[in-house]
Amino acid sequence: MANSKPVGVAYSDPELVAGTTITGATISGSTISGSTISGSTSTTATVSGTFTGPIRLPVAAVAAAGSNQGDAAALAEGINVVSAADGTKGVILPTAVAGMVIIVKNTAAGALKIYPATGGAINAVAANGAYSITNLTSSLLVASSTTQWYSVPLVAS
């Protein structure tokens, strides 16, 4: 919506969330470039066209915990650096959303169990079963639906 208010009169765009700022933007037609958006934004967005610039994923430090799906430590969307794995402890993925990407880095000396959310599956492992990665390795997991995760590259499991 265009600002039709005279100079000196406050204007509020209902499409922006309070606290959101856009700095350094160059707008040409429907292309915005050279900008940084910060503040409160929607958790869902559709981006089309050409995107240039670095993509940054959130990073979380997680300590493996528990011994089953019910008491494993929760993972966040983005990159998860996991410590304390000893072959029995694990982590649990959030409820899958098609297209969600989670990277898990096991920094511990032992294997790490990765569980899907209740009712979910990873690769060919049975629903609610653990997918294990060895010590000092990583796994990129992609959700293809609300219940199915696949490791990339796909490994037999």
Q: pLDDT for 103-157, tens place per residue?
A: 999 999 999 999 999 999 999 999 999 999 999 999 999 999 999 999 997 666 5
Average pLDDT over the chain, rounded to an integer: 82
pLDDT at 69 over 90: yes
| Cα dihedral 61, 107, 151, 73 in deg (nearest 10) | -40
What is the SS3 assignment for 83?
strand
**How long is the chain?**
157
Could you tell me the residue range of the domain that residue 101 belongs to? 59-152
* Residue 94 CB burial class (10 angstroms; 0-12, 13-18, ≥19): middle
* Average pLDDT value for residue range 29-38: 63
Does some domain include residue 23? Answer: no
Does some domain include residue 92? Answer: yes
Does some domain include residue 53? Answer: no
Q: How many domains does the chain have?
A: 1
Residue 70: the pLDDT is 97
The span from the CA of 46 to the CA of 118, in Å, is 28
Does some domain include residue 91? Answer: yes
Judge whether 155 and 125 are in contact, CB under 8 Å.
no
- pLDDT-derived band at 11 (thresholds 50, 70, 90) equals very low
The span from the CA of 126 to the CA of 122, in Å, is 8
